A and B are shown apart, each in its own frame.
Chain A
Amino acid sequence: MSALRLVSGSCINHGRPDRLGFDAYASHPGHGVFVLCDGANSCPDSGKAAQWLSQSLANDPRVFDDQGGFDLCLRSLHRDMIEQFPITAATVLALRVDAQGMALASVGDSRLILLRRSLAGWGPWRRVHEMPRDLNEEGHPTQLLGSEVLDQVHQAHFAPRGRFLAVLMTDGVANSLDDEEVFEVVAALGRLTPSAHDLDYLCQTLTGMALERGCYDDLSVVMIYAGFG
């Protein structure tokens, strides 16, 4: 079994004070579970629903189920959410990291990019995977947790090899910044294991850049560093 170094940082609901409160982040670092949700801001209670969803998922032991994992868990929470918060909806980005590897899940229009250090950890960060975003031509989400539509829970799994950096962004940041800008910010990470302060700084930098672009949406970024071996 390989040794695992896990560090996380975040910047949640950054932006204009009159438009905040629809993004929610919860984690269970002991279990290696991290969840970022964005409530649909057309429904007033979606902020509360997003908070409930993120906390429920982060603390749900079913995410470790080998058969179902995130899919089983999210479909069950989707039904609970419809009962508890009937006219709301939220996106979800989730990550589970343990010595067996890294599992990713997503529903909705938030964005999750997975980067890995190339050249056995000595090269620059390279994108190894990006979770699909559920968007229509108008840029609106086609499926959300708690809404009338939940067709597919996107999932991916990665073996425990190398150093990963998962960048989770809600749509405010994801739509304001291009890949080049995100990679330029991430490039500031040196070769050593980052601290939570380093990752907080990078998350704040990305949300700050999106705010400067004039984004009026909630701005949230979470970064999770996972070093195996």
Chain B
Amino acid sequence: MKLKDLFGRKSDEKGVEHVTTRETDSFANGVLFEIKAVVGSAIAQALQDKEGRYMKSILQESHFLLQGVSIKALDRETARLMEDFIATHESIEPEFRRTFFRQILQSEYRSSGGARVKVMPDLVPVIELDRQTLEPQTEDESFILSLKGRRVRFEAQAVLEGPVRNAAASPAAQESSRAAGSAFGRAATGTSPGPRAASDFANTQGPAFFKSSASSTEVRVTVHDRAGRRTRQVPLPVLLGRDVSQAQGQEGVLGIELDATYVSRRQLLIFELLGQVYCFVPRSASLTMSTHDQQVLRADCLQALPSGTKLALTGGVPMDTLLAPPQRHSAADYPLIELERAEAPPIGQDATPRPKAV
């Protein structure tokens, strides 16, 4: 301590102007930290309850999905402040609730036992206000709280689903992709954008476009890459590339990872427009792909996938070339993707017949 500190203001604070924090900001700061801790504990508790039922070897190859979190204010004053806080911000920014809670939830939680919980980026916790919290505290309750010291204002409960195998796309992501509905089909009828316009729109609008373009149409995607050959039938829209995990859920797109040397982070997007299926290489990709007859796909140009046809695309083509390079036989370097529109057989057509005596 310096001598002049004994006679008034601290020397370090001389000339410093104190700005009083607004009430809402102070509430936001406090509440953010507190809810984060409470939610973290709730997820840890839910994970602890679940992980004991499974073998370690299964926990290592799988993960749980956070199905939902409910946060409850424990007293009347907190419930009122929370309600006001959210209502005020939502009147200015309708997406506030999502933005605010994105800061609270981590993308992944782990337990010491080796279990993992993945959080879908579009998950929004539920704030519960029940009758008990709206009733004022009795004197006894206030006294008990003051004796306990720091007042606990929230409690949280987390619900997990799974486990889900790590390699598989999360069912929740598929479900959210389906549940987003075929709104794009309806919206498109009004505006009637051409194929090229759709590609531009997808690039510029990003998440909003993908979320609204979810459809019930499915494609069968066969990938040959370093990991071998695998086939999946998936709902649209689908993004293939080196790192598509972020796109999954966040943009309402189902991601399929490509494990090869010459592949872009976001290599190929497949979507449905007015009942037709199209794919294109996004402008952000550094490499493009070529068809079976060596035709090079140009960035942002749509390639149709007609019903009943198979489209084979090989990766590793530089963007600035019009001729596909020869000698691209190694799937570990140049991934091969086969696309086919999946047509569901009419119910009854694929039915198992009843054996008859001959």
Contact = CB atoms under 8 A, between A and B. Distances in A.
Contacts of B54: 195, 197-198, 201
B53 A88 contact: no
A123 interface: no
Main secondary structure on A side of the interface with B: loop
A188 B58 contact: yes
A88 B352 CA distance: 11
A141 B163 contact: no
Q: Pick the most buried of A142, A143, A192, A201: most chain B CB atoms within 10 A of its CB.
A: A201
A201 B166 CA distance: 12
A198 B355 contact: no
Interface centre among B164, B165, B231, B355 (most CB of A within 10 A): B355
Nearest to B354: A89
Given A41-B351, A190-B56, A198-B54, 9 more contacts: A89-B355, A141-B352, A143-B355, A188-B61, A189-B55, A197-B54, A212-B168, A212-B233, A216-B345
A98 interface: no
B105 interface: no
B275 to A, nearest CB: 20
Query: What are the nearest 8 A-B pairs in CB distance?
Result: A214-B233, A42-B351, A197-B53, A148-B357, A190-B57, A149-B355, A40-B352, A89-B354
A19 B356 CA distance: 24
Contacts of A190: 55-58
A43 B220 CA distance: 29
B92 interface: no
B3 interface: no
B257 to A, nearest CB: 14
Contacts of A192: 55
Nearest to A150: B355
Contacts of A41: 348, 351-352
B233 A42 contact: no
28 contacts: A16-B344, A40-B353, A40-B354, A41-B351, A42-B348, A43-B354, A87-B354, A140-B352, A140-B353, A141-B352, A142-B355, A148-B356, A148-B357, A185-B165, A188-B58, A189-B57, A195-B54, A198-B55, A202-B58, A205-B168, A208-B168, A213-B231, A213-B232, A213-B233, A214-B218, A214-B233, A214-B342, A216-B345
Interface in A204-229: 205, 208-209, 211-214, 216-217
B350 interface: yes
A38 B352 CA distance: 10
A147 interface: yes
Contacts of A202: 58
Nearest to A194: B55
Contacts of B171: 208
Nearest to A141: B355
Contacts of A89: 354-355
Contacts of B234: 212
Q: Of residues B57, B218, B231, B353, which shows the largest number of chain A Cβ atoms within 10 Å of its Cβ?
A: B353
Given A195-B54, A198-B54, A205-B168, A216 B344 contact: yes
Contacts of B348: 41-42
A19 B347 CA distance: 7
A94 to B, nearest CB: 19
A195 B53 contact: yes
Nearest to B357: A148
B133 interface: no
Contacts of A205: 165, 168
Nearest to B344: A216
A10 B220 CA distance: 27
B41 interface: no
A152 B69 CA distance: 54
Contacts of B220: 214
Contacts of B218: 214
Most chain A CB inside 10 Å of its own CB: which residue of B169, B350, B351, B352 = B352
A208 B233 CA distance: 11
A180 to B, nearest CB: 10
Given A197-B53, A201-B163, A212-B233, A18 B355 contact: no
B78 interface: no
A40 B351 contact: yes
B250 interface: no
B327 to A, nearest CB: 30
B333 to A, nearest CB: 25
Contacts of B353: 40, 42, 140
A227 B234 CA distance: 39
B356 A217 contact: no
Contacts of B56: 190
B58 A148 contact: no
A109 B234 CA distance: 27
A142 B353 CA distance: 9
Contacts of B61: 188
Interface string B55-73: 1111001100000000000
B62 A201 contact: yes
B116 to A, nearest CB: 14
Among B54, B164, B234, max chain A CB count under 10 A is at B54
Nearest to B50: A197
A37 interface: no
